[in-house]
């Protein structure tokens, strides 16, 4: 290098400084692109990892989007039934559990009368808890082609302590009664059972005194073939506000943050049932719907009567608004009927009726 050429070059330190000044914006742009790619790729990779473990968050079909259509005539009638039945169960009767035995007995009688009004016999399964009788109620419609295969739809009618329990689980009970009225003349291929369970709430939750576990164990002892169980659990609260919906941290990135949908939730072993129910609901109902088959130990996944059927080897799915992950009045004295959106609940139950009919009438090969 000649002396003239070297004298035209800037000092080495100045060149490095200039490269630093020019380089920072470039590096920031690269970092932003990498962050964007990570944001997009990470959920895809995580979904693949979950899928490899049997977890399913991607459901068939498309969830409904857009304004909800007007209520049909039957949905309007259903809404009136919900208002009436919630008033009876959660206002006139109120808290109902073994600490309030008289109210509990009134709730049993009310649900039993409503089920009997369909014209079907109702069977009482009475079991003892510390010297006090508890009652499961079963309405059965025998299948006409595959009667040994059984579809169970259930909801617990007891309440947690200190609450009138309009959403948890008055909403599930009034949904069960509405379905019983609409399915009373149905002639299913499979046997259909509508069951009201006792003792889902603490202190009996996931113990031998839980009504649904008593029932499921009896089915297991009889070697009955239950092909599907749907647990109607806390179904009536919805919100269109952003960030109104929460989840267990492991799956939060896969679902919407607005709590305006109904969810179908099962364990990994119930994956086929979860996918089937979601697909049918999305085909038949104009209402947002999400679903997932996840490990039963994740918070919330097994928090209802479907858990009892898992213990006996049966597939089970919870139909829910996700309870404490959305509902601010969960297990509180403020869980009153005015918190239940009976119009949206009617849309959900109408779609659920199609799901149940589909499950009870499998397509012939």
State residue 191's pLDDT score.
Answer: 98
Query: Is residue 63 situated within a structural domain?
Result: no
Kindly tell me the burial class for residue 218, based on how many C-beta atoms sit within 10 Å of its own C-beta (0-12, 13-18, 19 or more). middle
Nearest in space to 317 (alpha carbons), one of 290, 286, 345: 290
What's the CATH code of the domain at 276? Answer: 3.40.630.10
Same-domain pairing of 9 and 115: no
Per residue in 228-242, pLDDT (tens digit) is: 999 999 999 999 999
Q: Using CA atoms, how far apart are residues 199 and 212, in angstroms rounded to an integer?
A: 8
Same-domain pairing of 136 and 252: yes
Nearest in space to 55 (alpha carbons), one of 248, 283, 327: 248
State residue 363's pLDDT score.
Answer: 85
Query: Is residue 59 situated within a structural domain?
Result: no
State residue 56's pLDDT score.
Answer: 87
Q: 163 CB contacts (<8 Å, ≥6 apart)?
A: 95, 331, 332, 333, 335
Same-domain pairing of 134 and 40: no
- Spell out the per-residue pLDDT of the chain, length 365, in tens: 433 444 445 455 554 544 455 455 666 666 666 655 555 555 555 555 565 556 889 999 999 999 999 999 999 999 999 999 999 999 999 999 999 999 999 999 999 999 999 999 999 999 999 999 999 999 999 999 999 999 999 999 999 999 999 999 999 999 999 999 999 999 999 999 999 999 999 999 999 999 999 999 999 999 999 999 999 999 999 999 999 999 998 899 999 999 999 999 999 999 999 999 999 999 999 999 999 999 999 999 999 999 999 999 999 999 999 999 999 999 999 999 999 999 999 999 999 999 999 999 998 76
Q: 23 is in which domain, residue-wise?
A: 3-52
Query: Is residue 101 situated within a structural domain?
Result: yes
Query: Is residue 68 situated within a structural domain?
Result: no
Per residue in 32-43, pLDDT (tens digit) is: 666 555 555 555
Exposure class string for 184-210: b at 16+ Cβ within 10 A, else e: eeeebbbbbbbbbbbbbbeebbeeebb
Please say whether the beta carbons of 202 and 194 come within 8 A: no
Query: Is residue 365 situated within a structural domain?
Result: no
State residue 46's pLDDT score.
Answer: 54
Same-domain pairing of 180 and 310: yes
The sign of the CA dihedral 39, 278, 205, 315 is: negative
Same-domain pairing of 9 and 77: no
State residue 55's pLDDT score.
Answer: 83
**Placement of tokens 């006409």 in the chain:** 144
State residue 19's pLDDT score.
Answer: 47
Please say whether the beta carbons of 224 and 334 come within 8 A: no
Query: Is residue 66 situated within a structural domain?
Result: no
Same-domain pairing of 29 and 114: no
Domain count of the chain? 2
Same-domain pairing of 12 and 97: no
Query: Is residue 65 situated within a structural domain?
Result: no
């Amino acid at each position: 290098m000649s002396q003239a050429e070297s004298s035209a070059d800037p000092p080495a330190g100045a060149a490095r400084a200039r490269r630093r000044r020019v380089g920072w914006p470039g590096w920031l742009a690269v970092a932003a692109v990498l962050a964007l790619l990570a944001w997009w790729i990470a959920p895809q990779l995580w979904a693949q990892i979950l899928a490899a473990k049997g977890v399913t968050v991607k459901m068939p079909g498309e969830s409904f989007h857009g304004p909800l259509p007007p209520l049909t005539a039957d949905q309007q009638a259903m809404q009136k039934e919900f208002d009436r039945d919630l008033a009876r169960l959660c206002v006139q009767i109120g808290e109902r559990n073994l600490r309030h035995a008289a109210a509990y007995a009134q709730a049993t009688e009310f649900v039993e009368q409503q089920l009997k009004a369909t014209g079907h016999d109702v069977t009482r399964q009475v079991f003892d808890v510390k010297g006090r009788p508890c009652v499961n109620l079963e309405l059965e419609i025998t299948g006409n082609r595959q009667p040994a295969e059984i579809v169970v739809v259930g909801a617990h009618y007891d309440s947690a302590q200190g609450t009138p329990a309009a959403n948890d689980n008055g909403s599930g009970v009034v949904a069960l009664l509405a379905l019983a009225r609409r399915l009373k003349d149905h002639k299913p291929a499979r046997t259909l059972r509508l069951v009201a369970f006792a003792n889902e709430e603490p202190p009996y939750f996931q113990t031998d005194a839980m009504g649904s576990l008593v029932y499921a164990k009896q089915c297991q002892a009889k070697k009955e073939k239950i092909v599907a169980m749907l647990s109607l659990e806390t179904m009536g609260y919805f919100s269109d506000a952003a960030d109104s919906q929460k989840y267990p941290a492991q799956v939060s990135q896969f679902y919407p943050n607005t709590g305006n949908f109904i969810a179908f939730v099962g364990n990994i072993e119930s994956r086929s049932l979860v996918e089937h129910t979601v697909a049918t609901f999305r085909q038949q109902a104009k209402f947002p719907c999400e679903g997932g088959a996840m490990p039963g130990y994740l918070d919330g996944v097994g928090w209802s009567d479907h858990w009892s059927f898992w213990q006996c080897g049966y597939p089970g799915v919870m139909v829910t608004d996700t309870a404490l992950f959305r509902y601010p009045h969960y297990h509180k004295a403020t869980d009153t009927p005015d918190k239940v959106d009976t119009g949206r609940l009617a849309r959900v139950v109408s779609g659920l009726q199609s799901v149940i009919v589909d499950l009870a009438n499998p397509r012939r090969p």
